[in-house]
Amino acid sequence: MKKSLLLLTLCLITIVTLSAEVTYSAPEFMQAYYSAYSQNYINTLASGRGNTGVAKIENVENILLNPAGFSTDHTEMYIEFSIKPEKTELGHLHENQYRSSKPFTFVGFGFNPVQNLSTALYYAMPKSIEYDRYTLDDFGTAVFADRKPQYNHYSFGFTNAYKVGNLSVGVDVNYNIHNNYNFFINGYPAKENLNEYTFGFSGGAVYQASDRLNFGAMYSHSSDVTFETEYIDWDVTVPAKFSAGFSYYYLADSVISFDYEKRFNSQMSSAYDDIDIFKFGLEQQIRNNIIRFGGMYIPSTFSGRVTTPVVELAPNIIPQTPTNFNNGKEDILSNDQTFITIGYTLNLEELTFNLSAMQAVACEMKSTQFSLSIGVNLSDFDITKYTPKRRDD
């Protein structure tokens, strides 16, 4: 009898668990699992070596990986562009596409105000995603309209890094805009443009244990933001993250890096798993060229059924739902990713040209990213070196 009762209890628990459905914890494309496409891997040098670099000390481009990994003795500028080709969606009926329509992902300006202190101002776009598309059906009118919602995360930051002996420490304070453009709520006919603003903070350290070995760590604090519409509100926590790693110069011109990153996605929703990300990268310098290779593994934070928000309107308002409405149910497939990466840098006297490519393989969301960036030493830059000369010069 006791065994039968226990078995029945276990069955009931299983049924309840399987029938439970997760609801949105934020406006749609801010959900943690959409990072499988929306995440922009900023820093072309790092993205070519498996997005590693928490233990490296480089120029202004390295700020987002670790503010302590930024050091300069001159005035410099870094500009980056990224392209993410269209990919098939994770949820809904898996019949539409994601795209990123804003390729300008980073510009940074760094300088050296006093000895051992490096200071920078920057603009970055850590996330961007556009959905193509919601085709809306006005019930009873046979009228259709297309809606292409976007989520873009803009960040403006101020960073200071200071070096004391073999230890570098850095702090980054940033102002963030979370832009949900042309946002859609099932049943609600009006377009929503939801813009909210938060301050963020991250700090880090890099320790040079020897001429060949560096250790680094970085922590980015969570932030809270509230989105309000006429029918539904969200209190959203943008998750914290932690990174640690090392870089080893096994030859004077060869570097291997290993990084570990933890994203605390459960801070956004208890339905999401915190994830442990593992990365490695190799760099080989050949005269004024640098070749990079790498890999990165990102486990799935969530898979299952999601109940999308649906609002009930006054009787005189005709509701709108997309043709892929599926009764408000959305099935999210596993979104773990394994990336392979490649990169290249050409170093000139005051300029660096960087290229990288990242490709997710053997997974549902085969995200791709191509990056191009230019770094300029503004203190020594002489444009006449790079312009055609007259014949008589």
pLDDT > 70? residue 383:
no
Contact 45, 355 (CB under 8 A): no
State what percent of residues in the chain have pLDDT above 70: 88
pLDDT of residue 252: 86
Q: Is residue 255 part of a domain?
A: yes
Count: domains in the chain: 1
* pTM assigned to the model: 0.90
Task: Read off the pLDDT band of 12 (50, 70, 90).
Answer: very low
Q: Is residue 392 part of a domain?
A: no
pLDDT of residue 325: 77
Other Cβ atoms within 10 Å of 381 Cβ, number? 16
Q: Is residue 81 part of a domain?
A: yes
Task: Compare 83 and 186 and report the one with higher pLDDT.
Answer: 83
Q: What is the pLDDT of residues 281-338, one digit of tens each?
A: 999 999 999 999 999 999 999 999 998 888 877 677 666 778 777 778 888 988 899 9
Domain that holds residue 162: 2-386
Q: Is residue 299 part of a domain?
A: yes
Q: What is the pLDDT of residues 40-74, one digit of tens each?
A: 999 999 999 999 999 999 999 999 999 999 999 99
pLDDT of residue 16: 34
pLDDT > 70? residue 24:
yes
Contact 105, 125 (CB under 8 A): yes
pLDDT of residue 192: 82
Task: Compare 156 and 8 and report the one with higher pLDDT.
Answer: 156
Q: Is residue 393 part of a domain?
A: no
pLDDT of residue 137: 64
Alpha-carbon span 74 to 379, nearest angstrom: 6
pLDDT, mean over the chain: 89
CA angle 249, 253, 257 (to 5 degrees): 35
pLDDT > 80? residue 6:
no
pLDDT > 70? residue 181:
yes
Q: Is the sign of the CA dihedral 107, 113, 119, 121 positive or negative?
A: negative
pLDDT of residue 19: 39
pLDDT of residue 381: 73
CA angle 253, 255, 256 (to 5 degrees): 160
Q: Is residue 311 part of a domain?
A: yes
Q: Which of 92, 88, 22 is nearest to 273 (CA)?
A: 22
Contact 270, 239 (CB under 8 A): no
Contact 307, 23 (CB under 8 A): yes
Q: Is residue 85 part of a domain?
A: yes
CATH code of the domain covering residue 40? 2.40.160.60
Task: Read off the pLDDT band of 266 (50, 70, 90).
Answer: very high
pLDDT of residue 33: 95
Q: Is residue 53 part of a domain?
A: yes
